[in-house]
Homo-oligomer: A and B are copies of this chain.
Amino acid sequence: MENTEMIGEDAQRPRVGLVLGDPAGIGAELAAKLLADAATPALAAVTVIGDARQLAAGARIAKVPLPAVDLDDRANADPAATPLGRVSAEGGRAALNNFRHALAQARDGALDAIVFTPFNKQALRLAGNPYLDEIHFAADVLGYTGQCSEFNILGNIWNARVTSHIPFKDILKHITTANVLNALMLTDKTMRATGFANPRIALAALNPHAGDGGTFGTEEIEILQPALVRAKLQGICADGPFPADTVFMRARAGQFDAVLTLFHDQGQIAIKALAFEQGVTLLGGMPVPLCTPAHGTAYDIAGKGIANIDASKRAFAIACSMGSRCRLV
């Protein structure tokens, strides 16, 4: 709703960088379809960051006209050298180069938000990328040292995590009252930045049946409850801890806007079971919102023109919403 007021006022539209990810997947097709969508120019002033030949190939695959668009041609991914469906160091290098360039633009104030098409982790590794995930890479390029977190957004349900890409054996030592409270605060702050007036956050429990009153573990009583009490004192609408196997059902039934899970798979199992195709990943907490569809490069359908655009559209809409707010503050 907020964005519609801005249509026509070019200075008010957020400046969104659309980064082309791995060139061997469905990324360029998704970018072309997104650019061809009638709603796109009204939402943002878009700059595509990637190889012009790759974008043109995407438009051919998508069978859409290549729209007149601001293009920062990186000339780094000749389709002949990065064939569809094949993982390559060249592809990984191009994706990283595009992403780094967009982040530098954002850091220097030239972009308000970034949307990127999927990366291929294996290609990134072949290209020598030493980072565990995109969020660490992005924070480093942005020179950002504060708290940040990956958010998964599925329809109206948000999912954030207290811990992410760490070994299972290390999870417990990171589940402290301070860390849970910080994650509740970051979730609240990030959701407010996309327009939630008072996001309702459910905290997932650690133990089966949420410990069942201490029978199967006491972390709910000793660690999670105190974090919830402190969050509430700060005006955050948080509740729980709820058994991890039903908390997403509560959210789906409309009781909550977000679920804060304690570790990677606790949320990912539910998100992927509920509807993997439609999810959006937001790298949140940083000075600039970074959004991408949650699905992967989909090498198996690359070039067929059948890639589903829903998650990319939603990622773009969230980036626009957050980008406008950041700008207008």
Contact = CB atoms under 8 A, between A and B. Distances in A.
Interface centre among A207, A265, A268, A271 (most CB of B within 10 A): A265
How many chain copies? 2
Given A248-B273, A265-B244, A272-B249, A172 B168 contact: yes
A304 interface: no
Given A208-B264, A269-B269, A168 B219 contact: yes
A319 to B, nearest CB: 24
A132 interface: yes
Contact of A269 (B172, B215, B266): B266
A308 interface: no
Interface stretch (A57-65, A159-167, A186-194): A159-167
A269 B263 CA distance: 13
A134 interface: no
A266 B166 CA distance: 17
A217 interface: yes
Nearest to A249: B272
Contacts of A272: 245-246, 248-249
A278 to B, nearest CB: 14
Contacts of A164: 208
Interface string A248-262: 110000000000000
Contacts of A216: 165-167
What is the size category of the interface that chain A forms with chain B?
Answer: 35 or more
B166 A132 contact: no
A169 B218 CA distance: 10
B248 A207 contact: no
A287 interface: no
Interface centre among A165, A245, A263, A276 (most CB of B within 10 A): A245
A76 to B, nearest CB: 26
Contacts of A243: 265
B207 A168 contact: yes
Contacts of A206: 168
A245 B269 contact: yes
A198 to B, nearest CB: 26
A244 B269 contact: yes
Contacts of A218: 167
B219 A248 contact: no
Contacts of A270: 269-270, 273
A321 B249 CA distance: 32
A122 to B, nearest CB: 10
A274 interface: yes
Given A167-B211, A169-B172, 7 more contacts: A165-B209, A244-B269, A245-B272, A248-B272, A249-B273, A269-B269, A270-B273
Interface of A: 132, 164-169, 172, 206-209, 211, 215-219, 243-246, 248-249, 263-266, 268-274, 276
21 contacts: A165-B208, A165-B216, A167-B211, A167-B217, A167-B218, A168-B207, A168-B217, A169-B172, A169-B217, A208-B263, A208-B265, A244-B269, A245-B265, A245-B272, A248-B269, A249-B272, A249-B273, A249-B276, A266-B269, A269-B273, A270-B273
